[in-house]
């Protein structure tokens, strides 16, 4: 009986001692960072729709389903987007082929720039991925016992690393298998990493917490971390696009265009026994892209400018001032004398084939628009050798008439070879260029000489110029 009593007393004595030891174990309560946030280098949704109508081999026009998919229209699919088609039972692009979106016709129709290999069946997926580097920034309140950093990124419950966008979640693409490769996980510090801070041994896995699946990334800390510095952990390679998270596709048929889907990215610091030191839930929001378009037509900008008198143009000096719409030779008091005038054409075109400048008249200057004309006989025009298509010298003023010459790098002929007559039967090309050009200049230089026996009266004709782009 005595022994039993002693034993019982011993238990009563030891029990409080055990309880006291249990209560003195350190218990960590998660703290809160001074600041924490997450950014994406590209916050545009990925596109994930499906084919509504079969497309034959070589076809390029696609109709998408209008219900039941993350994307049920083409409003987040833009010209120039790179996309692929995918059978729901497979991963990767069908025939390992990508296509370029060439024309989004309307909310359910689009075209690709080349024919689809093997054709498409209803239900085949239409995928245009958007990827981003994810930067998680935080400033710790305490760095005592800091051993590693853990980051949780929302993931689909299955196929979370197959390279196909997931509705409302991030896909790991190849970031999961390449997590330890150089540059996939990187660290930067505000100002500089003065404590030689490092992140090493990055590791990837998935985990489920309260029914939600996450990409989980951990990395070991090194160096001396400080509460006075801001740290940024970047997930995703700077140049290898596949080693980045693929942005989510919209979160299903309830998605309203222009309304972002907010996802929570969690970052926490932990000690060597995985106790949380500090933690923050940061929000990152994906949204639809905005397509900006403006149509610039192929065009020619062309100006005719008058040239003042006493200007050196086309190897001579002008004696008559012109306006943009007139060549007023005025009263001819001196016969068998050259009167010279000029116009300047300034041409700009964005046409890939350049431009053409042409001229036509309604005939030689005519008295009151009828007869006689200047000259009365074209046989001896210029110095006897020029026509509407043949250039000839004109140095003798007694050879009366009305003609023109040209100056300019891209003129059809030059004043150095002589003059021509204006053509009344059709347009003659007086300048051209074979590519886009800005402010090209061509001078048309007019020459008039009147015989002393020319019938008195008012003589006139009309000249029409024509400029157009080439393709």
Strands (E), 155-306: 185-189, 198-209, 212-222, 231-235, 245-246, 261-270, 276-286, 300-306
Q: Where in the chain is the domain with CATH 2.40.30?
A: 47-128
CATH of 47-128, one of 2.40.30, 1.20.1300, 2.60.40, 3.10.450: 2.40.30
Look up the pTM and report it: 0.71
The token pair at 386 is 């020029």
Q: Count CA atoms closer than 13 A to 417's CA, side-chain side.
A: 11
Q: Where in the chain is the domain with CATH 2.60.40?
A: 28-43+131-286
**Cα angle 79-82-85, degrees, rounded to a multiple of 5:** 115
The token pair at 258 is 């222009």
Give the contacts of 326 (CB within 8 A, at least 6 positions apart).
Answer: 306
Neighbours of 393 (CB within 10 A): 14
Tens of each residue's pLDDT in the chain, 471 residues: 333 333 233 322 223 323 233 333 333 457 999 999 999 999 999 999 999 999 999 999 999 999 999 999 999 999 999 999 987 766 678 777 899 999 999 999 999 999 999 999 999 999 999 999 999 999 999 999 999 999 999 999 999 999 999 999 999 999 999 999 999 999 999 978 999 999 999 999 999 999 999 999 999 999 999 999 999 999 999 999 999 999 999 987 678 889 988 999 999 999 999 999 999 999 999 999 998 989 889 999 999 999 999 999 999 999 999 999 999 999 999 999 999 999 999 999 999 999 999 999 999 999 998 889 998 777 768 998 899 999 999 999 999 999 999 999 999 999 999 999 999 999 999 999 999 999 999 999 999 999 999 999 999 999 999 999 998
Strand-strand pairing, 276-286 and 31-32: parallel
Strand partners, 40: 134
Could you please state the CATH topology (level 3) that the domain comprising 28-43+131-286 is classified under: Immunoglobulin-like (2.60.40)
Secondary structure class of 364 (helix, strand, coil): coil
- The dihedrals phi and psi of 86, each to the nearest 5 degrees, come to -140, 130
DSSP of 26-57, one letter per residue? Answer: --PPPEE-SEEEEEES--BPPEEEEBSS-B-T
Dist. CA 297–CA 152, nearest whole Å = 50
Give the contacts of 341 (CB within 8 A, at least 6 positions apart).
Answer: 307, 318, 319, 320, 321, 322, 327, 329, 445, 446, 448
Dist. CA 4–CA 423, nearest whole Å = 137
């Amino acid at each position: 009986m005595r022994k039993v009593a002693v034993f019982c007393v011993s238990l009563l004595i030891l029990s409080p001692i055990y309880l006291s030891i249990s209560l003195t174990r350190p218990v960590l309560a998660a703290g809160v960072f001074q600041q924490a946030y997450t950014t994406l280098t590209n916050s545009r949704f990925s596109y994930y729709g499906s084919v509504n109508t079969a497309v034959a081999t070589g076809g390029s026009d696609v109709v998408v389903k209008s219900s039941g998919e993350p994307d049920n229209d083409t409003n987040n699919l833009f010209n120039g987007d790179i996309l692929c088609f995918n059978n729901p039972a497979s991963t990767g692009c069908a025939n390992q082929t990508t296509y370029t979106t060439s024309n989004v016709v309307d909310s359910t129709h689009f075209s690709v720039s080349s024919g689809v290999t093997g054709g498409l069946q209803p239900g085949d997926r239409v995928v245009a991925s958007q990827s981003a580097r994810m930067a998680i920034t935080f400033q710790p309140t305490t760095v005592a016992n800091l051993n590693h950093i853990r980051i949780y990124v929302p993931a689909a419950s299955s196929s979370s690393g197959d390279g196909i966008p997931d509705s409302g979640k991030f896909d790991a693409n190849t970031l999961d298998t390449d997590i330890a490769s150089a540059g996939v996980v990187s660290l930067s510090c505000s100002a500089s990493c003065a404590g030689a801070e490092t992140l090493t041994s990055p590791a990837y896995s998935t985990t489920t917490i309260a029914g939600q699946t996450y990409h989980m990334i951990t990395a070991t800390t090194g160096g001396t971390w400080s509460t006075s510095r801001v740290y940024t952990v970047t997930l995703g390679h700077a140049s290898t696009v596949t080693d980045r998270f693929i942005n989510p596709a919209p979160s299903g048929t309830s998605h309203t265009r222009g309304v972002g889907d907010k996802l929570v990215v969690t970052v926490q610091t932990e000690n060597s026994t995985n106790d949380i030191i500090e933690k923050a839930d940061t929000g990152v929001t994906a949204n639809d892209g905005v397509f900006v378009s403006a149509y610039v037509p192929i065009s020619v900008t062309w100006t005719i400018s008058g040239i003042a008198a006493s200007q050196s143009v086309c190897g001579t000096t002008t004696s008559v001032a012109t306006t943009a719409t007139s060549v007023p030779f005025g009263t001819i008091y001196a016969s068998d004398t050259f009167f010279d005038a000029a116009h300047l054409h300034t041409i700009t075109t964005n046409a890939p084939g350049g431009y053409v400048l042409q001229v036509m008249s309604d005939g030689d200057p005519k008295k009151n628009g009828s007869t006689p004309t200047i000259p009365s006989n074209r046989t001896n025009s210029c110095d006897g050798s020029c026509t509407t298509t043949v250039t000839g010298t004109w140095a003798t003023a007694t050879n009366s008439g009305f003609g023109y010459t040209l100056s300019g790098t891209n003129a059809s002929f030059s004043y150095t070879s002589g003059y021509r007559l204006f053509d009344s039967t059709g347009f003659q090309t007086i300048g051209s260029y074979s590519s886009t050009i800005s402010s090209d200049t061509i001078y048309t230089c007019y020459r008039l000489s009147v015989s002393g026996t020319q019938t008195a009266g008012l003589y006139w004709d009309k000249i029409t110029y024509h400029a157009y782009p080439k393709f």
